[in-house]
Structure 1
Amino acid sequence: QKDTARLLDWQTAKRLPWGIILLFGGGFALASGFKNSGLSEWLGTQLHGVSNFPPLLIIAVICFLITFLTELTSNTASAQILLPVLASLAVAIKVNPLMLMIPGTIACSCAFMLPVATPPNAIIFGTERLRIYDMAKTGVLINFISILLVTLVVYFWGTEVFNIDLRIFPEWAIGK
């Protein structure tokens, strides 16, 4: 029998966090399904009724929904699923897509409550020194602070920092 080198022995493979690996893989597959089926674009156009709301409220709701959604899914999968929806929504309501997508992207990184939200959360929870209750209690406060900060910073400084004019629908977004 020929002696072969292995990349991974069984003892190491048993200790890998397979649940986390499968969670991320499932998120990527779901995001791909949303995009390839056209569901992202369809959802964006179905939400055109939000054009009646002030931009500040739209941004706040986006930040709120995404911040708490990303507690249940990986940040990357949340971004892959929701950014195309936000782009389609922006085109449907005739606002600069960056005004919805930038806060949406930042909100995808605001996952502080649950172990499944991000690998660092899962790693620290895996030490068995914290309970989910402890993480959630602290994380929910940080989430609300993040929602408020992201909403206000993007709305009030986004026009200067990202050169976003709320009154103008950019030419590059026409026909997308």
Structure 2
Amino acid sequence: MFVPKIGCLRWEDSKAIPIEVMFLFGAGFCIAMAIAKMHLGDAFKPIFEYFGTLPILIFLLCVCLLVLCLTMFISSTALIAILLSAIFASTKDFLDVPMRSLVMLIATICVGFSFMFPISTPPNAIVFSKGGVKIWDMFRFGFLLSMAGIVLIIIFGMLYWRWFF
């Protein structure tokens, strides 16, 4: 991105990003690496087994809502690194490989639908750090956008992607 005459950014552009946002990225990667090395993905197994008895649409909705709730407290980068390994390890007893792949794909995309808080996604943090958007406004409009995104991605996944796995 910074390659002269080819890249779209200049080094001066990076100085405008607050240092807190850079710490947020770094902390997300550190948390994800620590949890992956400790194999904490297996801790989610009882939760996914409990919800695994539900129909697949309800199961997908529960996974998407879990992702949405967790991104309020942890960065999306760390969450998806943790959650994909947890989904893969925890659902092998009751979902076949194509359905596990579909669940992981939908969960990965749902991480990007968290528009409610600054910590959720890096663009949220950057926009919030400029001071023009209040938390309540982010939550109010972000909730509606997130719910619409979840419903649409589940419908699209079940009608289209399901046949490719």
TM-score (norm 1): 0.76
For 1:124 and 1:16, how far apart are their aligned partners in 2? 10
C-alpha change, 1:95 and 1:50, in structure 2 (3 Å) is farther
For 2:130 and 2:40, how far apart are their aligned partners in 1? 38
**1:43 CA displacement:** 2.2
**Residue number in structure 1 paired with 2:29:** 28
Bigger Rg over Cα: 1
For 1:46 and 1:109, how far apart are their aligned partners in 2? 23
**1:47 CA displacement:** 3.0
For 1:127 and 1:89, how far apart are their aligned partners in 2? 40
**1:131 CA displacement:** 0.9
Cα RMSD between the aligned structures? 2.2
**1:37 CA displacement:** 1.0
Identical-pair percentage: 26
C-alpha change, 1:127 and 1:85, in structure 2 (3 Å) is same
> What are the Cα deviations for residues 48-99 of structure 1, in whole angstroms up to 9, with x where unaligned?
2323111111111111111232233222111101000111122132333202
Give structure 2 stretches of 5+ with no counterpart. 1-10
Q: Check if 1:149 corresponds to 2:152.
A: yes
**1:108 CA displacement:** 1.1
Aligned length: 151
Query: What is the letter of the counterpart of residue 80 of structure 2?
Result: A
Per mean C-alpha deviation after superposition, the further-off stretch among 136-145 and 16-25 is 16-25
**1:22 CA displacement:** 2.0
Q: Check if 1:85 corresponds to 2:86.
A: yes
